[in-house]
Chains A and B, each alone.
Chain A
Amino acid sequence: MNAANPEYMSPDCLLRPGNTNCGGCGMSTGLTMLGRALASERYSMVIPACCGIVAAGAFPTTAYNVPVIASTFASSPAVASGVAAVNELNPGKDHRPNHVICWAGDGGTYDIGMATLSAAAERNEDLIYICYDNEIYGNTGGQRSSATPATARTTTTPGGKGETKKEIIQILAAHHIPYAATLSIAHPEDFQAKIQKAIGIKGFRFFLIHAPCPTGWKTEPAESVELVRLAVRSGVFPLYEVFNGVDYRINVEPDGTDPAVYYAKQKRFSGQEINLERVKTSLKRKNRRLRELASLSR
């Protein structure tokens, strides 16, 4: 059991200084923003195998200043269901909420943990599940996941990935959960507002954070935030939310920025000639569909 040293804690500091994450790590920025959004809340986290648990550092210290349970790779929503059930049975005298948050990578979410996640969503467990999506298995050195975008090179798709990324928000929405949304570290106000919205909702809440990973994406650490901003503006990573699986709302409209810049800045896309026209057409289709869904919800 690794203990945090309370001396170094400030109330909004979830990930304390001194962790060993790579420079420019989007997951780390995501944790910092999460900590700020939840500064006045009581919560604990369940983190499966991923960079997020390595971030805790080595026993007996920890970079986290909330209780954290390391779960097996596929298990975070199951373990969190157990934690949340005990919280529900023990509301405490003050009845102050005691949130349970899963913090998992795309591998733990889209791949090995899919069944566990789907089941917890279907049971509408009272959890906040956050997937920081670096589109790769970062911890094991950069292998493909089903969140890796087409054409990206990884150590297991050396010639570039042939398949298209899964649409996880829509998979979760199809579980009729009360709330699902995307987050970007380039949009901290939107990030904060949606986390705060979610803590006022009961039941299963799902977030997807676009988490730049300079190590896996072969990008400049200093450009991480800029990259995901480009992803939002060009419609590669739209910022939107879904209520009860049906009501869609777009939070930040893409502004027509050419996705070419987003691709050009990342060496993981340099292996193959990218058919930009195809990329643009598919992005247009995806974002048109989103707008249609959002207009139906009004």
Chain B
Amino acid sequence: MNMQLVTGNHAAGHSMSLAAEANRNARGSVCGIYPITPQTEIVEFVARYPFSKGKVIPVESEHSAMGVCIGASLNGARSFTASSSNGLAYMTENIVVAAFYRLPIVMAAVNRTLGPPWNIWADQGDSLMFRDFAWIQLYCDTNQDVADTTLLAFRLAEDKRVMLPVMVCMDAFIVSHTSMEIELATQDQVDRFLPDCKVPHRIDPSHPVTVGGMTVPQDTLTHRIELDEAMRQVPAVLEEHRARFKEIFGREVSGALTVYRTEDADRIFIASGTISISLRDIVDEWREKGEKVGMIKVKQFRPFPCEQLVELCRGASRIGVLDRNYSAGTGGIFWQEVKSCMQGQGEQMIQGYLLGVGGGDVVPETIREVVDDLGNRNAVASPIWKGIEQ
């Protein structure tokens, strides 16, 4: 076992580099990189990695970092990058291109509050901006999860049934900068897990095509429907590759949803990222008091695992959704998704809670208040803000 004490950033950099190296017998790997706190260490890790067939291009902006990945991927290389917060915002135009060109690019997104005002702490509002552009999004909760999900992301993105980019998201600092002892993959394992990267529509001088020319609306509609079909493949394909991951690495990598003590629960809490780790302990506390409380961790935000969630929540009368993000004028974004899934499913109370928006620390006591609140509540209210100093 290759146990090491590493940060979340190191875990992401390590897995990306091994994945890149694993493509050395095919067309190699190329990535564009640009720094921004708190993801900088990922691109620094990649920049010093001794690839046998790879090139790292330190560009002048995130827009160009994704531009390089687009060109490289369309020329058949394995491609990846990392960014965060305003860097993601600056990259937006090319983030859209990556998905609409069906490029299997993997990007680590370290969730940091969007500025202004400027603040580097954890908030998922940056990557959630991209929920509507056919990127698969996986939210991780631990360093091990980051290391493993990054590898899984390449396998999923490059699967020909999918051919879509994947964002591997993690909370700023709580994951990116905190060291944990985790099991790191070896090159031999990654070589076995990841087949050569094949981009079927890569450019080829003997068969000249124009990628991304004009279309009439009808053809664009067909394109969007194809994106939808690819997205719908994700749940089954992810499960297949999780199984293969377990065979090769001897451990589980968590899937779309992680369910905890929901069997007979009348109250279910839904959360993602590091909040879900603290929530788990609080669920245990309530269970010890004999209360029927359970939780679901959502990792796969896109495509959103609606049907599974509806099924899992069927027996619960109250559902609390904890969001570390906020869509102005509405509420938390996971809460919105859960609500739209549950529409027409019965009389469940679905209450939204906003925790750690803008990067505040989410301590167990705050989560206890949330669990209490859902139990005592008579009617659903608009999303409840936590962490406001009185």
Contact = CB atoms under 8 A, between A and B. Distances in A.
A199 interface: no
Given A59-B214, A75-B94, A82 B68 contact: yes
Contacts of A43: 205
B220 to A, nearest CB: 9
Interface in B208-231: 208-216, 219
B208 A89 contact: no
Interface stretch (A116-124, A150-158, A176-184, A215-223): A116-124
Interface stretch (A66-74, A242-250, A262-270, A286-294): A66-74
Given A66-B205, A72-B94, A83 B67 contact: no
A69 B63 contact: no
A146 interface: no
A77 B64 CA distance: 8
A107 to B, nearest CB: 15
Given A59-B213, A68-B211, A87 B60 contact: no
A20 to B, nearest CB: 10
Nearest to B78: A86
A145 to B, nearest CB: 19
Interface stretch (B69-77, B160-168, B240-248, B260-268): B69-77
A65 B209 CA distance: 7
A69 B74 contact: yes
Contact of B59 (A57, A88, A119): A119
B228 to A, nearest CB: 19
A87 B75 contact: yes
A116 B63 CA distance: 9
A260 interface: no
B55 A89 contact: yes
A56 B68 contact: no
Q: Which of B59, B71, B216 has the most CB of A within 10 A?
A: B71
A85 B215 contact: no
Contacts of B259: none
Contacts, number: 175
A46 interface: yes
A4 interface: yes
B211 A70 contact: yes
A65 B203 contact: no
B54 interface: yes
B213 A58 contact: yes
Interface residues of B, number: 44
Contact of A119 (B64, B73, B94, B97): B64
A85 B205 contact: no
B325 to A, nearest CB: 27
Contacts of A82: 30, 32, 57, 67-75, 77, 79
Contacts of A58: 213-216
Nearest to B60: A119
Nearest to B28: A89
B205 A67 contact: yes
Contacts of A53: 212-214
A59 B215 contact: yes
- Looking at A56, A70, A85, A88, the one whose CB has the most chain B CB atoms below 10 A away is A85
A37 interface: no
B67 A1 contact: no
Contacts of A90: 27-28, 76
Contacts of A74: 63, 93
A68 B63 CA distance: 20
A215 to B, nearest CB: 18
Contacts of A60: 219
A175 to B, nearest CB: 12
B201 interface: yes
Interface string A163-190: 0000000000000000000000000000
A122 B219 CA distance: 39
B204 interface: yes
Contacts of A123: 57, 59
8 contacts: A67-B203, A67-B204, A68-B213, A71-B212, A74-B93, A85-B57, A89-B77, A98-B205
Interface of A: 1-4, 42-44, 46, 53-54, 56-60, 62, 64-72, 74-75, 77-90, 98, 115-116, 118-119, 123
The 4 closest A-B pairs by CB, nearest first: A82-B71, A78-B67, A70-B212, A119-B60
Given A56-B210, A71-B97, 12 more contacts: A3-B210, A57-B213, A66-B205, A69-B70, A70-B210, A71-B70, A75-B94, A79-B67, A80-B71, A82-B72, A82-B79, A115-B64
Interface of B: 27-28, 30, 32, 53-55, 57, 59-61, 63-65, 67-77, 79, 93-94, 97, 201, 203-205, 207-216, 219
